[in-house]
Chains A and B, each alone.
Chain A
């Protein structure tokens, strides 16, 4: 970042450089969250059948090809990855699946710091603040709450941060190859992986030089090929109203309700989803298409967690808007502004991808890039504090204090959410239908039942915190 922005520049005499300090803080936060993840058993919903399928798949290639040609989704790498980890696990399923989740999480936080190019102590402070925004935003919860058994949404965030890092690096021959491979892998894992392509293209358009024009053209070529292959060759469509439930105004609508309400003309429902997805990232409400604050007020009381979420997000977005306006007025376009443009593009593209239905996880890439934008806003604010003859510096310091405390409290809430999740997941194993554990049936079914019994045994043996014995205030401030 800009070298002149440092109120306390790094010197050769410093024991720890600003960059190392930011990495250390990111590493500690990642370690703490990884520990939480390892306390959560492998989950039942959206996970157990995937593991059983992986056990039954004859090979990784078979798992890959079986997923091509689905009606609404094209995600062949998703099941192939589950199969790869299953084979690697050799019986240690919890360790491998949860361990991989923890590794992805650690990679995401370190890649986040790496993408910010920390050089000064001011950058370091802004990066640490950015980490609390990244982990405190509600979209981040979707990256750690569940494993299917791999959290593919977290994988997509990692792919997108790799794409950003490559775009911001010095160009070498292999950065083009790596960017292309990243976009391909991300796109074949989940549809939101296409955002990695958006990032490479937008980064190049704003002047980032890590990926060359040739590299960008190859990515554009892949994206064109993806759409042709998906929609023309495979006739794989997009999710319809009958696929999933989705939030609308003050409640969740089930697929049959969605079809009844919007079946004849879904256009405005799609517009609603796109708009609420953008608002969700910028203001933390609506969440999953539901206006949570209004709903809570209507039901009789707004818990503090909603006040905290909406207030910190509204203040953060206001600061971002102020920074953008002042930079546009000053006709300043530097490294930070490039990041802001890329973050805005990701927000727009990610929201459009959420047109069919909305939830935390889908918009999580935009959430991660909102944190990148928050870093730029914080960094520019610290620069502003040094500007001569300006008013409002004390106000700005107070605002930064409120933001940093507020986002840190939100970030700490992820630990609470994960211990509640561990309790829920473990209880899901207690409620397993007996038929899944029974030895009746074919040899293949007996083998699957043995696997399910092992997973259940491992889950039940894990000590977790009883969510019903936690103080009430933890749920009011950090619950869901």
Chain B
């Protein structure tokens, strides 16, 4: 009887050992199955896809989506409302180029300017003055309109009032 009990205990430890060894892998597989079930409804938990407008996209370094949206007909020179939390903590409307300058993304500014964003002298002067990063300033210099002049006296970023508020 005693020997039987020891055998039983060993068998239990063996079973527990096997269960412990396999459980995390099984859990991973079950979670995978659950996630795949949600995929046809565009709800895959590992692949969240939050749709953003052109200005919001410019603020989250998604160059591919910028080109995709412009090709779909979105205007790169229009102002778009930014949802609080995406770039700023407050609601505001900005153009994609203003957002790219605000977040200091030189590559994005370049992408916008090569895909339809237009700078007139006034807009250029404003953005050139508020650009804080050298690489963004360099991009803007390359797209400087012939009649543009640099005079930063009293210039504040379009988003500055909202920051102060």
Contact = CB atoms under 8 A, between A and B. Distances in A.
Nearest to A400: B21
A8 B50 contact: no
A131 interface: yes
Interface stretch (A48-56, A58-66, A75-83, A425-433): A425-433
Nearest to A124: B22
B6 interface: yes
Nearest to B20: A401
Interface in B2-46: 6, 10-11, 13-30, 32-33, 35-36, 39, 44, 46
A430 B27 CA distance: 38
A25 interface: yes
A466 B60 contact: yes
Nearest to B28: A408
A404 B11 contact: no
Interface string A26-68: 0011011001100100000000000000000000000000000
A405 interface: yes
Contacts of A459: 64
A8 B18 contact: yes
B32 A29 contact: yes
Contact of B14 (A25, A36, A122, A416): A122
A476 interface: no
A469 B23 contact: no
Nearest to B27: A408
A33 B21 CA distance: 22
A429 to B, nearest CB: 6
A430 B25 contact: no
A29 B28 contact: yes
A464 interface: yes
A8 B107 CA distance: 60
Contacts of B33: 28, 31-32
B71 interface: yes
Contacts of A35: 36, 39, 44
Contacts of B35: 32
B64 to A, nearest CB: 4
Contact of A430 (B28, B30, B44, B111): B111
Contacts of B11: 7, 386
A431 B64 CA distance: 8
Contact of A32 (B32, B48, B68, B107): B32
A31 B36 contact: yes
A352 to B, nearest CB: 32
Interface in A378-427: 378, 381-382, 385-388, 393, 396-397, 400-401, 403-405, 407-409, 411-412, 415-416, 419, 423, 426-427
A89 B10 CA distance: 57
Most chain-A Cβ atoms within 10 A of its Cβ — which of B28, B30, B66, B68? B28
B148 to A, nearest CB: 25
B62 interface: yes
Contact of A468 (B14, B21, B60): B60
A150 B20 CA distance: 37
B150 to A, nearest CB: 29
Given A31-B33, A35-B44, A378-B21, 16 more contacts: A24-B29, A35-B36, A121-B18, A124-B18, A125-B17, A128-B29, A381-B17, A382-B17, A387-B10, A403-B21, A404-B24, A408-B24, A408-B27, A427-B62, A465-B48, A468-B61
28 contacts: A7-B14, A7-B17, A8-B18, A25-B25, A25-B29, A28-B29, A29-B25, A29-B28, A29-B29, A32-B36, A126-B21, A132-B24, A382-B17, A382-B18, A386-B10, A386-B11, A388-B6, A400-B20, A401-B21, A404-B21, A419-B46, A427-B64, A430-B64, A430-B111, A460-B65, A464-B49, A466-B62, A469-B60
Interface of A: 7-8, 24-25, 28-29, 31-32, 35-36, 39, 121-122, 124-126, 128-129, 131-132, 378, 381-382, 385-388, 393, 396-397, 400-401, 403-405, 407-409, 411-412, 415-416, 419, 423, 426-427, 429-431, 459-461, 463-466, 468-469
Interface of B: 6, 10-11, 13-30, 32-33, 35-36, 39, 44, 46-50, 60-68, 71, 107, 111
